[in-house]
Chains A and B, each alone.
Chain A
Amino acid sequence: MIGFLFKKFNETHIFVVSLIFFIILPFVVSNHFIITEILAYAIFGISFNLMLGYVGLLSFGHALYFGSGAYTMALLLIHFKVNILVGILAGMGVAAIFALVVGFLSIRQYGVYFSMLTLSFAEMVYFIALRLRDITGGENGLSITRPPLRIPGLFSISLESPLRLYFFVFFFFILTLFILRRLVDSPFGRVLQIIRENETRARTLGYSVERFKLIAFVASGLFSGLAGTLYCLIVKFVHCGDLQWLKSGDVVIMTLIGGTGSLYGPIIGAIINTFLSDFISLLWQRWLFVLGLIFVIFVLFMREGVWGEIKKSLRGKI
C-alpha cells in the first residue's frame, strides 16, 4: 500500500513533504522556540554539508561563519538599529568574506590538513573576539532586542509572536533549501560531484578544481552566516561560544547523524541534535554522554546516517 505511494518518489516530492512537515509542525508542537531553533540549525547543517557531502572536504571551523553572521547581526542592531533584512544580508556578506579568506588559504589541502587549517583560522578569530571584550562582550556576550520585520512604506510586523518568528525563519529555510537544491543539480554542482569522485580526471578535463571548491566553500559560508543571523534573532543573544570549535563540532555531529548523502540528512540531524540538547539535558545533566553514544553508534554502524537508512529501506523507490 505504502510502497505504491512511494513508487515515483523523487527529489521534488521530498521537497514538498518537508515543506508540509514544517508547515504543520508549529501547530502540533507547542514549544515554538525549539522548532525555530531547529530550522536555524538545519540551515547551518545544509550549508555545512555542501562542503562535506558534495565537495568531500570536512571543514572543522564552520562556527566562524555562523558566529560572524550572528555577531554582525547583533552589532548592527545594537549600534545602528538597522532593518533586520539589512542585518541578514550584512551577516551573510561578512561570513562569505571570512569564508573567502579562509577558503583561499586552505582549499589546496586535503583531508585532515584541511580540517585542521579551517579549525585554526576559526579558533584564531574566536580568541580575538574573546579579547575584544568591549566590542563582543566576550564570554558574557551581547543581548539584543528583536526589532520588527519592516519594509519601509509597506508594512511592519512584530516578530515577538513565536509563530510569526517561526514562519519568518521558515521562509529563509525553504529559500536556502531551494537555492542549494538548484545549486547541486546545476552544471556547477555536477562539477563538484566529479571533483569529489576523481579529482585528477576532472583536472585533465580542464576543470580548475581549486576554483570550484573555493566557490562552494564561499557559498557554504554564506548560508552558514544566514543561519547565524537567524539564530541571533531567535535567542536574542550572541556570545563568543558561537565562534568556538564546539559549535563547529555540533554541526559536524548533526550532519553525520543525519546523513551526508543529501541535502535532507542535516535537517534530520538538526532535529535529533536540538531535541537531545533541549529535552534530554533537562532529564539528565550528563546528556552529552547520550549524544556521544549515539554518535559512536552512527559512525560505527550507520555510516550514511538516518537519511541513508531511510533511503535504504525505500531502495528502488526513490
Chain B
Amino acid sequence: MVILKVENLNKNFGGLSAIRNVQLEFNEGELCSVIGPNGAGKTTFFKMIMGLLPATSGKIFFKNRDITNLPTHKISRLGICQTFQILSIFLSLTVMENIRMAIQSRSKYNFDFFNPALKYEEMQQQAQEIIHDVHLSGRESSVAKNLSYGEKRKLEMGITLARDPDLILLDEPTAGMAHDEITDTIKLIQKISERKTVLMVEHNIGVVFSLSSRIVVLNRGEVIGDGPPKKIQEDERVQKAYLGGI
C-alpha cells in the first residue's frame, strides 16, 4: 500500500528552485534512503513533507489524504514525524522530560491544567522503554545540554520515536557519530523499520547501502535515480553526480 505520494512537487526560493517536479511514491514498510550532493534539496524535501516549508506547487498525499501545506502539528498528528539534521532537542530539559513530552503529545492530558505533570506514571514508563531502545539508559535525569554529541543524536531519535509516527523521516541520523555509535544506530533503524516506514537522508554511504531497500537520488532538486541499491550503484547518471564511481 502506498503510504506517501508526492506529485509534481516544486519549491522555489526566489529564483532558485530547490525541488523540481518531484514525483515519488513510497510503500508502507519501506526503508528508503534519499541521497544526493550538498544542496540537492534533501532537507527541503523533508521539511515540505513535515509542513515546515510551504510547497510552491504540487501535492503531497499521506495515506491518501492531501496534506500539502497543512500546519505541522496536524501532519504530526496524522502520523509523520522527523528528526533534524541540526539537532532539535529541548536543551534545558532532562532526557526523561524530553521523551516524556513527546509521549504526552499523543495522550489526553495536554489540556490538564491542574495536576502535576509527573503524576501520570504510565507516560514515564513508556518513556523509560524508549530511552532503553535508543541506548540512553542511565542518563534519564541528565540535562540534555550536558549530553555528548552522539547521545544528543540518540535523544533526537528518541523524541521522534516517542511520538510513535507511522512514517519516520530521519535527517542524517549518524552525522558526526563515532564508529561504534553508528553501529548502534544502524541496529536501531533496522529495528524501527520492522514496524514503521522510514525515509532517511544520509551521507554515510556505508549506512545507506547496509540499510536501504530502495534509494532515491536527488540532484539540484530533481530525482535522477530511483531503485534498489544495486541498480543505483550501476546507474551512470548517479555515478557522475554523486558517487564518484564506487
Q: Measuring CB to CB, which residues of chain A are less than 8 angstroms from any residue of chain B?
A: 179, 182-183, 185-191, 193-194, 197-198, 200-201, 203-209, 215
Contacts and interface: CB of A to CB of B under 8 A. Distances in A.
Nearest to B81: A204
Contact of A197 (B90, B115, B116, B159): B90
Contacts of A191: 101, 104, 110
Interface string B88-120: 111111000100011011110111111111001
Contact of B114 (A183, A190, A193): A183
B219 interface: no
A263 to B, nearest CB: 15
B104 A204 contact: no
B77 interface: yes
B20 interface: no
Contact of A188 (B50, B72, B73, B113): B113
A203 B101 contact: no
A194 B81 contact: no
A198 B77 CA distance: 18
B42 interface: no
B52 interface: yes
Nearest to A215: B111
A271 B166 CA distance: 53
B112 A201 contact: no
Given A191-B104, A194-B101, 17 more contacts: A182-B113, A182-B116, A186-B112, A187-B107, A187-B112, A188-B112, A189-B113, A190-B104, A198-B91, A201-B159, A204-B50, A204-B82, A206-B73, A206-B163, A207-B110, A208-B71, A209-B73
A198 B88 contact: yes
B76 interface: yes
Find the residue from A190, A193, A198, A206 having the highest chain B CB count within 10 A: A206
A203 B72 contact: yes
Contacts of B97: 190
Interface in B177-198: none
Contacts of B160: 204
Nearest to B106: A206
A120 B116 CA distance: 37
A205 B114 contact: no
Given A200-B52, A204-B82, A205-B102, A187 B90 contact: no
Contact of B120 (A187, A201, A205, A207): A187
Interface in B50-92: 50, 52, 71-74, 76-77, 81-82, 84, 88-92
B88 A187 contact: no
24 contacts: A179-B114, A182-B115, A185-B116, A185-B117, A186-B115, A186-B116, A187-B109, A188-B112, A188-B113, A189-B117, A190-B104, A191-B101, A191-B110, A193-B93, A194-B90, A198-B89, A198-B91, A200-B88, A203-B52, A203-B71, A204-B82, A205-B105, A205-B159, A207-B105
Contacts of B89: 198, 201
Interface in B150-179: 159-160, 163
B101 A206 contact: no
B120 to A, nearest CB: 7
Contact of B92 (A179, A190, A197, A204): A197
Nearest to B111: A188
A7 B77 CA distance: 44
A189 B163 CA distance: 19
Contacts of A207: 73, 105, 110
A190 B116 CA distance: 10
